[in-house]
A and B are shown apart, each in its own frame.
Chain A
C-alpha cells in the first residue's frame, strides 16, 4: 500500500510540544486552584462532586504549593501561548485550516461518526483528512485554548485589563470560566486518548513520523467539502 503524507513536520512539533506544556499548565493550575477549591457539580446544598476530592489532592500531592504553582504557571504560560499562537498562524497561512475548521456538513457527519463509533451504524460518511467529529473536536480545543488564555489574562491582571475582566463577568466569574475551560481540556484529552487507542498504530505513528499507510476512505468517495 502506498504511503501518504498525513501530518506535516510543523504540525507534529506543535502537537508534541503542546503535550508537556499543557500538562504543566494544568498541573500548576491545580496547585493554584487548591488554595481556593470552591467549584463543584451540584445544586443548593447537594454536591455531586467537589473539585477536587481530598483523596485526589493528596494523591497528586497538590496541597500547600500555591507559590510554586503560581511561579510555574506564570512562566510556562508564555511557552504554552506562543506554541498555540504559532500553531494557529501556521494553520491560517499554510491553508491547513481547511482540514480542521468544520464545514456545513460537519455536524451531521459528526453524529454519523459517533453512531458508527458506538456500533450503532455500519457505514462512515465520506471524509477528508479528518471526519466531521474530529473537525469539531480539533477546532473546539483551539477555541478552548484561546479561551483559557483570555480568561487567564483576565484573572492574572484584573486591574490592568479591567475591561477584559468586566467583559467576562467580573473576577470571580472569569476564574470560574478559566476552571471549566480546563475541565473541558481534560474532557477532550480523555476522548482523544480513547480514540487514538481505537484508531491504532498507523494513526499514532502518523503523528510522529508523518506518513500513513492506511488510505483514508476518501479513495472511493471524495469528501463532500471537496466536491462542493
Chain B
C-alpha cells in the first residue's frame, strides 16, 4: 500500500505530465495554425474566423448605428494626406467622368455637376485609419444611397449585394457590402473642410464611408460597379480583413 507521500508524488507527476502534454498540444495547434495555406495573405483558419466576425457584424449592422458627428471646431484644419496608390500624375480632372456599371444598362458616364444636383450633405466625422490614428474632417458631398437611387434604382431589388470602386488607373480598388455602402453616412464627396478637394485628397470625387476603416475611403473614383459577386479589395488581398467594418 502506498504511503500518503507517494500518493501525492504520483498526483504531482500526473498533473505536471498533463500540463506538459497540454502545452505541447497547444504549441502543436499554434504551429498548425501558422502553417495553413494562405488565403489572401492569411492562414486559412484565421481568414475563416474573420468571415464569422463579419457575419456577426453584418447581422448587427443598422442604419441607426452611426459614427459620431462633431462640431466644426473639432475639425483638424491641417488634414493629413495618407496614401497615394491609384493617384498617378497622368490624370486630367477636367475631362473626368464617373463610370457606373450596373450590369443592365450600358456603362454610364456621369459628370461632377450632375452628381452635385443630388441633395448636398455636410458631415463632420472621424476618418479612422486602420493603422490606429483618427482625423476629424468636414466633408461635403452627396449620399451614396441617393446616388444609387438615381443611377441604379434596381440595386437592392436585383439582388446586387456588393459595390466595387476603382481609381481611374485601376491601381486601387475597394469592395463594399451593400448595407455599408447605402448607410446614410456614406458619401461621395467633392469638398473637404469647406474647399474643393485637392488631388492628394481625392479630387474630383472620393468616397467617405465612416462605418469602415480609412482604407475603404477610396480617393479619385474612376468607376463604380454594382455587382452580385463579392469584389476584390486591394488591402484584403494583402492580409487585411475584407469587411473592415467599424
List residues of chain B with CB within 8 A of the CB of A213. Answer: 8
A35-B132, A74-B50 known; A171-B126 Cβ under 8 A: yes
Contact B15 A209 (CB under 8 A): yes
A70-B240, A209-B16 known; A159-B42 Cβ under 8 A: no
A160 to B129, CA, bound (A): 17
Contact B134 A171 (CB under 8 A): yes
Interface bracket on A:
35 or more
Which of these, A35, A67, A159, contacts B65 with CB under 8 Å? A159
A69-122 interface (Cβ within 8 A of B): 70-72, 74-75, 78
List residues of chain A with CB within 8 A of the CB of B241. Answer: 70-71, 74
Contact A159 B246 (CB under 8 A): yes
Q: Residues 49-84 of chain A: 1 if any B CB is under 8 Å from the residue's CB, otherwise 0?
A: 000000000000000001110111011001000000
Contact A159 B53 (CB under 8 A): no
Contact A157 B246 (CB under 8 A): yes
What is the interface of chain A mostly: helix, strand, loop, or mixed? helix
Contact B11 A211 (CB under 8 A): yes
A160 to chain B, nearest CB (A): 5
A74-B50, A160-B61 known; A38-B133 Cβ under 8 A: yes
Measured CB to CB, the nearest residue on chain A to B240 is A67
A74-B53, A208-B16 known; A158-B246 Cβ under 8 A: yes
A158-B67, A211-B11 known; A20-B133 Cβ under 8 A: no
Measured CB to CB, the nearest residue on chain B to A172 is B134
Contact A36 B49 (CB under 8 A): no
Q: Residues 166-192 of chain A: 1 if any B CB is under 8 Å from the residue's CB, otherwise 0?
A: 100011100100000000000000000
Let me know if B46 is at the binding interface, CB within 8 A.
Answer: yes
B180 to chain A, nearest CB (A): 9
Contact A160 B246 (CB under 8 A): yes
A120 to B69, CA, bound (A): 55
Let me know if B85 is at the binding interface, CB within 8 A.
Answer: no
B14-67 interface (Cβ within 8 A of A): 14-16, 19, 22, 26, 41-42, 45-47, 49-50, 53, 57, 60-62, 65-67
A159-B246, A162-B65, A208-B19 known; A71-B46 Cβ under 8 A: yes
A208 to B19, CA, bound (A): 7
List residues of chain A with CB within 8 A of the CB of B45. Answer: 75
Interface bracket on B:
35 or more
A221 to B97, CA, bound (A): 85
Contact A211 B8 (CB under 8 A): yes
Let me know if B210 is at the binding interface, CB within 8 A.
Answer: yes
Let me know if B68 is at the binding interface, CB within 8 A.
Answer: yes
List residues of chain B with CB within 8 A of the CB of A147. Answer: none
Let me know if B107 is at the binding interface, CB within 8 A.
Answer: no
A172 to B74, CA, bound (A): 13
List residues of chain B with CB within 8 A of the CB of A210. Answer: 11, 15
Let me know if B12 is at the binding interface, CB within 8 A.
Answer: yes
A78 to B240, CA, bound (A): 18
List residues of chain A with CB within 8 A of the CB of B12. Answer: 205, 208-209
List residues of chain B with CB within 8 A of the CB of A193. Answer: none
Contact A36 B239 (CB under 8 A): no
Contact A36 B65 (CB under 8 A): no
Measured CB to CB, the nearest residue on chain B to A3 is B8
List residues of chain A with CB within 8 A of the CB of B15. Answer: 12, 205, 208-210
A35-B131, A166-B68, A209-B15 known; A71-B42 Cβ under 8 A: yes
Given contacts A159-B66, A162-B65, A171-B126, 7 further A-B contacts (CB under 8 A): A67-B238, A158-B126, A159-B245, A160-B60, A162-B68, A172-B134, A209-B14
Interface residues of A (CB under 8 A from B): 3, 12, 16, 20, 32-33, 35-36, 38, 66-68, 70-72, 74-75, 78, 157-162, 165-166, 170-172, 175, 205, 208-211, 213
Can you identify 14 A-B contacts, CB atoms within 8 angstroms?
A12-B15, A33-B132, A38-B132, A67-B238, A70-B241, A71-B47, A74-B50, A158-B67, A158-B246, A159-B67, A170-B68, A172-B134, A175-B132, A209-B15
The 7 closest A-B pairs by CB, nearest first: A36-B132, A67-B239, A209-B15, A35-B131, A159-B246, A75-B49, A209-B12
